[in-house]
Amino acid sequence: MQPKIEHIADPVDTTVGAQIRYKRKMRKVSQQALADAVGVSFQQIQKYERGANRVSASMLVRIADTLEADITEFFGRPGARATVDDRLALLLSQTGAVELLSVFSTLSGDSRSALLGFMRTLQKTSQAA
């Protein structure tokens, strides 16, 4: 038996997936709705968004059309410094990030400060563990 080779996602696949997730969330399209529109399962959309599966050129065109995006918007620049848009897309592609930001935007200044303090405490606790 050959040893199992662990799959490591290519950074380009990860970037494309993060952009798909970001654009899908910004347009308030569910994974199921996107999957139905492009003819795959929602599990496949999940794999694309994580960078676990590569997106073919034809599939990326269908996804871009469905999300009303230019296909070039899905690509980062390998080896180049990440732009603010690249970093923001990766941050917003995290589960719950868009919802958290939406709720955050409705809070008063004092509540925002309290929430940020709480989150920094959680971060320190998480890093110490």
Query: pLDDT by residue for the chain (129 residues), tens digit each?
Result: 555 555 576 778 888 898 899 899 889 999 999 999 999 999 999 999 988 899 999 999 999 999 999 888 888 554 445 565 667 777 777 788 888 888 898 999 899 999 999 999 998 888 887
- What structural domains does the chain harbor? 11-93 (1.10.260.40), 96-129 (no CATH)
> 66 and 20 in contact (C-beta within 8 Å)?
no
DSSP secondary structure string for all residues of 33-60: HHHHHHTS-HHHHHHHHHTSSPPPHHHH
The pTM score is 0.61
